[in-house]
Amino acid sequence: MSDREQQRLDFLNAVGLAGAARAPLTGDASTRRYERLTTASGASLILMDQPPAAESSPADPSWSPGRRKAEGWNAVARLSAGRIEAFAAVAAHLKGLGLSAPEIVAVDAASGLAVLEDFGDDLFARVIEAGAPEEPLYLAAVEALATLHDAPAPAVLTGAAGDWPLLTYDETALQGGADLFVEWMPRLDPGLVFDAAAIDEWRAAWAPVIARGAAGATVMAHRDYHAENLIRLPGRAGAAGVGLIDFQDAVRAHPCWDLHSLLQDARRDVPAALEARALDHYFALRPATDREAFLRDYAGLAALNEARILGVFARLIVRDGKPRYRAFMPRVWAHLNTNLKTPGLEPVARWFDAHVPETRRL
């Protein structure tokens, strides 16, 4: 038996769940793992397992950009390193707004273990595949975002495992994400070569987009808001019918961030008409929004995020040996190519035309 398994057993024993049946759940691209626990009475719970030492340190709010780069990717990107206390604090904030985050049944943050309410398996992506109509689900997801965006984004969140800072998705994080493209795509496609001059041009082209993204960081962003992280909860009405998971990396960001993650999904096709309908719904729910400025930033930050995702997928394929992510890349390229036609993104579009021919955008 591994030391980690012994920790899991000790935790479950301490919280009165030693006798629960355990079944592993499918993982994601992170270092977390999950199990479904079934008690003797038939109740279902989720065991979240995130060893604290499995990743580099999360960013301290006081760290400079240089310190963050020295500390590693989690600090650069202002990721939580999967910390249980981050999950618990974000969950408490979401629940306080009337949104549906899992109840924290038991937690040992020092060990990176928690028992959560089980929202079941009705991920939006799965129930749509099974024939459920898309539009009501997506509009409910937009309603949940509008609720989140209408609330102040506190500097510090407090949950069952203590306090957690809500950091801003700032210039360092945005640029770091974009730079994953120029770092990792040539390792996946050796035909792409970006010299120092090309990288300087890359950063200059993105600078206005990044400046607007950082300046517009006014709301809490889930940060990984898409149909694989949203669960249909039929017993709850409106925005509360959207079960939220995988939100431990929440930051203060531009309100368009979660919208383009949802509507320009890397994993599934969202019809253009549904994207337009969902955006209209968002503007109706938040009528003070400057639609023109918002849509400009939506296209720019979506394009930047798509460059980031391509870099992440390249890294997962090359470094982590996960070739299945290649299948998602054509969809991401299609979104990026569309966004590059938006007025204001001409410098970025010219960079791609000069350095990544369309024949390599696969």
**Residues with Cβ within 8 Å of residue 344, at least 6 apart in sequence:** 208, 296, 299, 300
Tokens linked to 219: 């709301």
Question: Does the pLDDT value for residue 28 go beyond 60?
Answer: no
Q: CA 324 → CA 184, 314, 316, 318, distances in Å?
A: 16, 11, 9, 11
Which amino acid appears at position 8 of this protein? Answer: R
Which amino acid appears at position 315 of this protein? Answer: R
109-147 tens-digit pLDDT: 999 999 999 999 999 999 999 999 999 999 999 999 999
Matching residue, tokens 């506190």 = 154
What pLDDT does residue 348 have?
Answer: 98
Report d(CA 89, CA 110) in Å as an integer.
Answer: 15
Q: Rounded to the nearest 5 degrees, what angle is found at the Cα of 30, between the Cα atoms of 35 and 268?
A: 95
Report d(CA 211, CA 174) in Å as an integer.
Answer: 9
Give burial (CB, 10 Å; 0-12/13-18/19+) of 58. buried
328-342 tens-digit pLDDT: 999 999 999 999 999
Share of the chain above pLDDT 70, in %: 99
Q: How many residues are given for the chain?
A: 362
Cα(first)–Cα(last) distance of the chain, in Å? Answer: 44
Report d(CA 228, CA 247) in Å as an integer.
Answer: 12
Orientation of helix 272-285 relative to helix 256-263, angle to 10°? 150
What pLDDT does residue 31 have?
Answer: 77
290-316 tens-digit pLDDT: 999 999 999 999 999 999 999 999 999
Strands 242-244, 230-232: pairing is: antiparallel
Question: Does the pLDDT value for residue 29 go beyond 80?
Answer: no
176-213 tens-digit pLDDT: 999 999 999 999 999 999 999 999 999 999 999 999 99
Question: Does the pLDDT value for residue 41 go beyond 60?
Answer: yes
What pLDDT does residue 16 have?
Answer: 93
Question: Does the pLDDT value for residue 55 go beyond 90?
Answer: no
**Contact present, 144 and 219 (Cβ < 8 Å):** no
User: Hey, is 242 helix, strand or coil?
Assistant: strand
Report d(CA 298, CA 279) in Å as an integer.
Answer: 10
Q: pTM of this prediction?
A: 0.94
Question: Does the pLDDT value for residue 102 go beyond 80?
Answer: yes
E-assigned strands of the chain? 21-24, 33-38, 44-49, 104-108, 113-117, 156-159, 162-165, 219-221, 230-232, 242-244, 251-253
